[in-house]
Amino acid sequence: MVKSRKKAGQYFLMVLITFLVVLPFLWMLVLSFKTNSEILSTPLALPKTFNFDNYKHAMETLNFPQLYGNTLFVCVISLISELIITFLSSFVLARMEFENEGIRKLLYGFLIIGLSISPFILLFPVYKINVFFKLRGKLALLFPYIATSISFNTLLFVGYLKSLPAEIDEAAVIDGCSIWDLMVRVVLPMTKPVIATVVIFNVLYIWNEFPFASVMLRDVTDYTLSMGASFFKGTYTVDYGGIVASSVMIIIPELIFYGLFQKNIVEGMTAGAVKG
Amino acid sequence: MVPTLLVYCIFIILPIAIAVRYSFTKYTGIGEAKPVGLKNYIRLFQDDVFWVSLKNTMITFVLAFALLLTISFLIALLLNKKLKGVDFSKALIFSPAIIAPIIVGIIWVYILDPNIGIINNVLDAVGASGLKHKWIGGDKLSPYSIAIIYFWQQLGYLVTIFIAGLKMIPEDVLEAVKIDGASPLQEIRYVIIPMMRTTISTVAVLIITGVFKIFEIVQQTTGGGPNHLSETLVTYSYSMTFASSDYGYGMSLATVTFILSLLITAVYSAITKEEKGGKRSRFSHISQRNARGQKQAGDTLEEREG
Give the closest-approach CA distance of B288 to chain A in angstroms: 30
Count CB-CB contacts under 10 A for residue B9. Answer: 13
Return the percent helix, strand and coil in chain A, to nearest 5. Answer: 80, 0, 20
pLDDT band at B63 (very low <50, low <70, confident <90, very high): very high
Supply the CATH number for residue B241's domain. Answer: 1.10.3720.10
- What pLDDT band is residue B306 in, cutting at 50, 70 and 90? very low
| Cα–chain center distance at B215 | 13
Pick the CATH number of A62-235 from 2.40.128.20, 1.10.10.350, 1.10.3720.10, 3.40.640.10: 1.10.3720.10
pLDDT of amino acid B276: 54
Write down the domain spans for chain A.
Answer: 2-51, 62-235
CA B91 vs. chain centroid, Å, equals 21
The pLDDT value recorded for residue B61 is: 92
Sequence-separated (6 or more) residues with CB below 8 Å from residue B131? B123
Nearest to B64 by CA among B136, B147, B158: B147
pLDDT digits (tens, 9 = 90+) for A165-211: 877 777 887 887 777 788 888 888 888 888 888 888 888 888 888 88
pLDDT, position B147: 93
Cβ neighbors of B239 (< 8 A, separation 6 or more) are B224, B231
Domain of B130?
36-305
Are the beta carbons of B31 and A134 closer than 8 angstroms?
no
Domain count, chain B: 1
Asked, for residue B66, whether it belongs to a domain, the answer is yes
The interface residues of chain A toward chain B in range 221-260, judged by CB-CB distance below 8 A, are 225-226, 229-230, 233, 240, 243-244, 247, 250-251, 254-255, 258
Q: Is residue B60 exposed (0-12), middle (13-18) or buried (19+ Cβ within 10 Å)?
A: buried
Closest CA to B94 of A250, A267, A274: A267
Residue B134 located in a structural domain: yes
Number of H helices and E strands in chain B, helices first, is 15, 2
How wide is the angle at C-alpha B124 spanned by C-alphas B123 and B130, nearest 5°?
Answer: 70
- Mean pLDDT across the stretch B247-275? 83
| Chain A from 5 to 24: CB within 8 A of any B CB | 7, 10-11, 13-15, 17-18, 21-22, 24
Residue B196 lies in a domain: yes
Are B72 and B155 in contact by the 8 Å Cβ rule? The answer is yes
- B254 close to B15: Cβ distance less than 8 angstroms: no
Query: Which of B2, B4, B80 has the highest number of chain A CBs within 10 A, making it the mutation to test binding with A?
Result: B4
To probe the interface with A, which of B28, B86, B98 has the most A CB atoms within 10 Å? B98
Instruction: Measure A149 CA to nearest chain B CA, in Å.
Output: 9
> Residue A219 burial (CB < 10 Å; 0-12/13-18/19+)?
exposed
| Cα of A153 to nearest chain B Cα, Å | 11
Q: Least CA distance to B76: which residue of chain A?
A: A14
Among B108, B234, B96, B120, CA closest to A244: B108
Q: Which helix (H) or strand (E) holds B151?
A: helix B142-167
Q: Does A142 touch chain B (CB under 8 A)?
A: no
The torsion angle over the Cα atoms of residues A220, A222, A228 and A232, rounded to 10 degrees, is -10
Q: Would the CA dihedral through A137, A139, A145, A148 be positive or negative?
A: negative
Average pLDDT over chain B reads 80
The answer to whether A33 touches A54, Cβ cutoff 8 Å, is yes
Look up the ipTM and state it.
0.84
| Residue B20 resides in a domain | no
